[in-house]
Structure 1
């Protein structure tokens, strides 16, 4: 026996919904922050520190300067804010900060010539040809007492055979004789002339002049200045003896040195060669031999002080009460009977703003969307209007009505924009309800009981299990058949007691199960499943060589379309943004990349060192977004260090057309892992022998990256070798963004 049951029909009248929401805020005080960059004064002698030495005056452009509360201005960091010197005028804030003192005790310094070259001396000794035209007289000193020896040393002379039984004495240069000369530099004069540099560890004569740290003369305790060390500047085996070293007090001479050398001395000057002459009674000839020595001074600095500031300035703006937006929203219909077709919905909104003050309104923006949808419709109302209205139209799809009642929620937002860049907004919720007629279901008296086990909600992309296994028959009967149906296009037909289904779209889903027992009676039930948007998972990585002008890779490959690792959701887009670490937009001119800053991975090159953050925004196929940020530091590309060694004295070679060979070996290197890609060798020749190369023309020797260079020259005199080196990149880069100026270079003359 069968019975028919017809449920009652419920019809709800169409109503109009009204909502009023406003955003409320009290009188406002806004705190602002200014970063005070690190700044250091020059060192001065601690004894010369004055009040003005400590002062840093800084001026900053600020908005709404007329609203700054002077009492709220505070400084945090190195130093102390001088409150009595605050000034706010013409859109600028001027502060005076007393810097934090950094004291240093005395340090050792060396005195050299202005460009860092050593002082030079030319001590010498003379020999004189006797009137007999044969013998030479040389001034000599005792190598133990360093006192002049009287009579003078007699050297030279030779016996020449002019016939079978006749000989004649003729003059002969005293080659092989050892002479000693004494020398005392004018230390006081050099103190007056000296430039001072910080003394480094090790042998001063072996240190690179280019790396010396200059110390202002006002910081040097000149009363402590004294003679430093002396060396033979030509690296010949001449012996330099410090006369201050003998133990006998009577032999001590302040700053006196003895130089012992062997004739002939190739650096002798002041004569020309003479042919032997038989009758030389009236000829007296003098010859001066000299050596060139390098030396420097030593001293200590006075105690030194400098002052430093770094920190933040905070102040408060009295901005008055915040703008307050009031929003009224209506929806039609608020409720309606479902007739099997799409249902049109109209939303109207009216907004007004209070507490505008002297702000100027540029526009109103209205937004509305179904609650389950991320993207919203928008309308714009321009002009300086304190009130504005809008209207939106939506449609409830008949396919979405799977519950009774079906409730569609909406969101309405009004946002007012001011010309100063600030905004205020308010949001109201609205909803429209749809009711259905009850569907008559015919069942047996002892109909089987269908039961659907499935989640009530899930995310798109997930695979869920749907089961009817708990369905049961009554009266000793059994379930003979399971029949499944779903109301969406992607529904996969289930068989038997159920299975797994992948949810490939967002919305309200309905699954229907009809079971038939062993006597042919049927029972039907439904299950509603709400499918929402899955949130993606963003993971930003920064890889590569974190240095200026090198390849840096933004990698988002570990991101997923869903937070659920097992969900089958694709990522639609990857978008990257670069900001400075600590906030603020990064300088776009310092960042290079091809096309748009987007993609799963992106090759990027930074032109400027600094601390940055990369922000990755991923959007999945359902329009949901997620964001991740990673911060990193781009190191500066350091210049190469130029250094080379040279054979300092060379002779002309009779076997090489009387040419001398200049020989140098490069010792340059990159301090940060790059390599030397080009070495450019050149020289200047002191053509007028005046000791200066400033008026000479530089001659290119080679620019093909030789590490060892030899150059034949014919002219006798002094040459100065110059070297310029250019780095190549030791790590990958992006060639299309590299210019010749990006390769670091250094030279030996600057």
Structure 2
């Protein structure tokens, strides 16, 4: 019974001597802080647009499931509507706009829907007299704002077949029925009550190629001068009640236009930052993201019989490193509401991968001004062997997402002309496909890369690029890519970017996108690199940025470092000051949580602030441990010496180096079973990890090892001393029974000789 109790006591002591490192690591993992900037935007108008919702992508490496929702916080000048939330893997925030009165130039007026032009349906009536020799020309007189007519003799024989070549004037009334106002996009509607009526003016966009001079607007009409006959389509006039050779014809002219005006509107601005805390993944976490690559822009105008949709779905496995245990990645995509889905797989042993899915929205679906199609996406990762987690073993992880594609249709008026026979031309090849890559928002004064390099030709190659960058500074020229920028006065405006490409067959393809100019604010940012551990060198880096033409004023940069918990401000060490900081080496004497803040200003007069919080880990004690035999014997052939072989197995739990080892022993000289009345003798301090101890006297010896660390990471020598090097000895980390060796005499050999 006594023996059993003794063994249990030894086992308990052994457990007490080893710290629970797994628990310490989990506690140290804790949380980190993250932040997102809301792009400063302006230009939404009308009371119905005063609230705007944002869906913001989380920073790379942060899974939505790890965000602590009760830490989500908005800071900025806008009033928050409702609570921040996580929706489809993104942070959702609704802000009430900051209202300002503003006059917007050049808002566009279209016929009932965005980009639908007004189109004349006018014709001039030309009559052949019954004598077959004269033509009556009826036309509009712009000077008297009335109709008039004149006679002209036939020039092609008797009876005449066509009127003589002449220029006639038409004056249809300007059409403003169903007039609807927009500020550069289908989604930004201007209330008609905000339009300054005195500023309304028509803008000519196109006209028939047989028009003599560019049409003009006068007397509330569209003044058109055009040639007849000149391959001009016509329809016959009604001949009821007429006789002989009398004949009437309707000769058509076509002109398209829209309206521009100034609007005195209430605009709303939005901006600010979102901060949050998130848990560092300590077990496998799947982060899925879905990105709508087409249509671009979204919403996109219907061109042809469909709108192409392309969605990229990405899976990122966080908190897991064993890629060899991944069996497969599976991706699903479908139109929301449908039961069948497209599926793609990836069998590569990777921790992150993606697949793209192609859909289309047929024209028959786009029956209104703005059609939306929702898509459901799923990414799944499956493991070969079950993976243990806190809640049990898992064999797979799954993440669901949604994206929305939008499209709109432009209802162009239909003008019907009589069929004119023509000789069809044989197509010489397939037209090229133009593609533009450009950001949706750009800060005033900042260079923006516009790239058409993804354009292609299915049966040849592209020879020319023609860019339209209305309002932009700089030119791209006849190249596939280039940089442009916008001025500060253009903030809040949206500008088109158009590209036409020509292939080796002379065929063309065109596309367009839009960019909105936002305020030239700087982005304040700090980074901290290095070993985030006490008494180690860390580097604070100013990573702030500002638009190219409005650089940050170095003299106005302000940086502060402060302790939040654990240490004090006196424990923060660096040389010099933090003024005008670009980078600075810093050392923290105590573990704890610290904060760094930065304020920057640029030459445009805008300022920005940012802060980061970070944890400085403690410098952990080394673990002293060695192995010796429990008994050794004196060897008569070796001067009665007993040799104790010692192997050191000490280590540093936080990857520091063992810089010094001091070996000592003490001898139970009075054989009373206690070492407390004995003194220590140092027998080696040469930092040896394997050595022999030679002993002469029979009895019990206790051995002690003291280990002293040397920094395993860079430090700043001016701020550390020898006392900052962590040390420990085997008295604290190893059971006493394992540190005692007993020296005995070898028993004599007996030979019985009968």
TM value normalised by structure 1: 0.29
Larger radius of gyration: 1
User: Could you say which structure has the greater relative contact order, defined with CA pairs below 8 angstroms and 6 or more residues apart?
Assistant: 1
